[in-house]
Structure 1
Amino acid sequence: MENPIQLTENARLEIRSTLQANKIPETYGLRVGMRGGACSGTFLLGFDTPTEFDQTYIIEGIKVLIDKRHLMYVIGVSVDYEEGVNGSGYTVSTAGRS
């Protein structure tokens, strides 16, 4: 299967920087999932270790963990990192979905 999500260059740089700066072990990956119900849910991003429910992907050299139960909700999303006047942070866009 091709990669279910996309990571922009800014997101990849920030993820690598965070992993190195915090000395996060290689057993961890970027968790992409949903919090709450499918219709009213919000996207969940964070560093975590894989569980038996996860599908693991290597996207542009970054380990990404997606709970198999969340996979259908996150396919096609794009994760970006933006720095703005109101602060900086990750954004999740569903614009790339087909």
Structure 2
Amino acid sequence: MENPISITDSAAEEINNILTQKKVPEGYALRVGVKGGGGCGGAQFTLGFDQAKETDIEYETKGIKVLIEKRQMMFLLDLEIDFEDRRDERGFVFNKVSAQ
């Protein structure tokens, strides 16, 4: 099975920086989630660090362990996490990648 979510090189680098700088404890992984309403554009994607739960799908990409709650999987499939560092804004960007 292909990874449900991809992470660009720049996002992987920033995630690894955060893991190091914030001293995230051993055994924690990147949790990708969704919150907010259904429908078009109503959902917001979330990132954080957490320990795996029984209801998670867990995989690794670019050396980063990723956790996704099974019931949120359909909202997160084909998502690409990128990191942009521009003069006026800096942060993670979520892009839907067409699987067609």
The TM-score normalised by the length of structure 1 is 0.91
Q: Which residue of 2 aligns with 1:13?
A: 13
- Choose 7-16 or 48-57, whichever is displaced more: 48-57
The TM-score normalised by the length of structure 2 is 0.90
Query: 1:21 Cα deviation (Å)?
Result: 1.1
Question: Size of the alignment, in residue pairs?
Answer: 97
> 2: CA distance between counterparts of 1:38 and 1:44?
15
> 2: CA distance between counterparts of 1:29 and 1:15?
10
Q: Which residue of 2 aligns with 1:67?
A: 69
Coordinate RMSD, CA, aligned: 1.1
Listed as ranges, the gaps of 5+ residues in structure 2 are none
Listed as ranges, the gaps of 5+ residues in structure 1 are none
The percent of aligned pairs where both chains have the same amino acid is 41
Q: Which residue of 1 aligns with 2:37?
A: 37
Stretches of 4+ moved more than 6 A in 1? none
1:80 and 1:92 in contact (8 A); partners too: yes
